[in-house]
């Protein structure tokens, strides 16, 4: 069955069906997270009717999964109307938010919209840590209140927790909070992206090598991962594309002004969905070049690495750190080595 799935996946790749689309409604935000990868809050935003027209276009292109994100999307007054419109078109909708603007009335509307889930950012297990990261006093209490209301309404919540330097010790507290809300797992991440290609400032927020090992050890402890047990592996995929980044082949990101990107971490404009036909964007020469640069074979050192199957390799991370595709994402290497150190030597 897995190989049948592979065949269908490759067929979708060939047709470049945007199954999974991320739509940035705004880059404005009411928080000031130091490690945020968005380069600026200043961005032209599409109006309500333009966004609705784009949603119709995406529905016609066989998009299934749609994620609304920002910035903070609830700074837009029409966000709930757009979510409702998207679910009526048949999209499986995910909402990403810092949750500080989610009052009881908005949560009730979200419930009526029949969305798939809400992704909420929780950056610490206490107000002292979370509020220090967001730069907004009271943001921790607002998040906790919103998540409680979402769960009370029966809405599925995924806790997204980016762990920055100094916050590793808060992981267990974050996990306990999630369990208290009936959420079994937290989506922990320690990948910090630069704001623009070649920007070195992100490094100050990344975990040290020692803390990275503690990060993965904590995840292993919280979620009962046997650090020495070998997992069954079916071997190398039948096609290199199944081991490479799938951005642009099965999904895209659309920025607040309609610019189409392969991925939010690859700020290489392909066109604008407001003025250009989506099919023309997806099958352009620039799109072809980007897809070629995403392949594992475009980085010989990665292609020949013994850890290539389990590696966290991200071409977008390489592009943002090094300023070009086809380079080694050394930060991914660091994560893979840290994981191997606590997982019995296997990636």
- pLDDT tens-digit profile of 318-345? 999 999 999 999 999 999 999 888 876 5
Say how far residue 63 (Cα) sits from the centre of its chain. 17
The predicted pLDDT at position 228 comes to 39
SS (H, E, C) the chain: CHHHHHHHHHHHHHHCCCCEEEEECCCCCCCCCCCCCCCCCCCCCCCHHHHHHHHHHHHHCCCCEEEEECCCHHHCCCHHHHHHHHHHCCCEEEEEECCCCCCHHHHHHHHHHCCCEEEEECCCCCHHHHHHHHCCCCHHHHHHHHHHHHHHCCCCEEEEEECCCCCHHHHHHHHHHHHHCCCCCEEEECCCCCCCCCCCHHHHHCCCHHHHHHHHHHHHHHCCCCCCCCCCCCCCCCCHHHHCCCCCCCEEEECCCCEEECECCECCCCEECCCCCHHHHHCCHHHHHHHHHHCHHHCHHHHCCCCCCCCCCCHHHHHHHHCCCCCCCHHHHHHHHHHHHHCCCCC
Kindly state the percentage of the chain with pLDDT values over 70: 91
The pLDDT, as a whole number, for residue 233 is: 40
State what percent of residues in the chain have pLDDT above 90. Answer: 73
Q: Are strands 251-254 and 20-24 parallel, antiparallel or unpaired?
A: parallel
pLDDT for position 178:
97
**Predicted pLDDT at 6:** 73
pLDDT for residue 342: 84
Q: How confident is the model at residue 238 (pLDDT cuts 50, 70, 90)?
A: low
Contact 36, 269 (CB under 8 A): no
CA–CA separation, 89 and 280 (whole Å): 23
Mean of pLDDT over the chain: 90
pLDDT at residue 49, rounded to an integer:
98
pLDDT tens-digit series, residues 195-237 = 989 888 888 999 999 999 999 999 999 986 544 343 434 445 5
Lowest mean pLDDT among 22-26, 37-41, 43-47, 80-84: 37-41
């Amino acid at each position: 069955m897995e190989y049948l799935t592979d065949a269908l996946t490759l067929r979708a790749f060939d047709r470049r069906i945007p199954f999974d689309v991320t739509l940035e409604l705004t880059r404005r935000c009411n928080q000031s997270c130091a490690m945020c990868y968005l380069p600026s809050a200043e961005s032209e935003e599409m109006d309500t009717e333009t966004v609705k027209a784009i949603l119709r276009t995406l529905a016609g292109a066989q998009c299934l999964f749609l994620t609304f994100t920002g910035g903070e999307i609830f700074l837009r007054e029409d966000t709930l109307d757009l979510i409702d419109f998207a679910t009526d078109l048949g999209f499986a909708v995910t909402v990403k938010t810092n949750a500080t603007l989610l009052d009881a009335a908005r949560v009730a509307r979200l419930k009526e919209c029949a969305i798939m889930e809400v992704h909420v950012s929780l950056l610490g297990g206490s107000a002292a840590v979370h509020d220090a990261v967001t730069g907004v006093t009271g943001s921790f209490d607002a998040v906790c209140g919103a998540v409680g209301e979402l769960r009370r309404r029966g809405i599925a919540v995924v806790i997204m927790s980016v762990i920055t330097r100094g916050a590793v010790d808060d992981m267990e507290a974050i996990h306990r909070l999630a369990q208290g809300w009936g959420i079994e797992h937290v989506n922990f991440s320690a990948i910090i992206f630069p704001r623009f290609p070649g920007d070195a400032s992100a490094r100050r927020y990344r975990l040290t090598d020692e803390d990275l090992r503690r990060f993965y050890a904590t995840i292993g402890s919280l979620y009962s991962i046997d650090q020495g047990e070998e997992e069954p592996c079916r071997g190398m995929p039948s096609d290199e594309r199944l081991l490479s980044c799938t951005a642009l082949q099965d999904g895209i990101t659309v920025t607040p002004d309609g610019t189409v990107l392969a991925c939010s971490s690859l700020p290489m404009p392909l066109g604008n969905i407001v003025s250009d036909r989506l099919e023309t964007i997806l099958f352009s020469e620039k799109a072809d070049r980007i897809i070629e640069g995403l392949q594992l074979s475009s980085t010989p050192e990665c292609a020949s690495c013994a850890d290539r199957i389990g590696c966290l390799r991200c071409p977008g991370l390489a592009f943002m750190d090094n300023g070009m595709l086809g380079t080694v994402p050394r930060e991914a290497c660091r994560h893979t080595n840290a994981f191997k150190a606590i997982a019995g030597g296997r990636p």
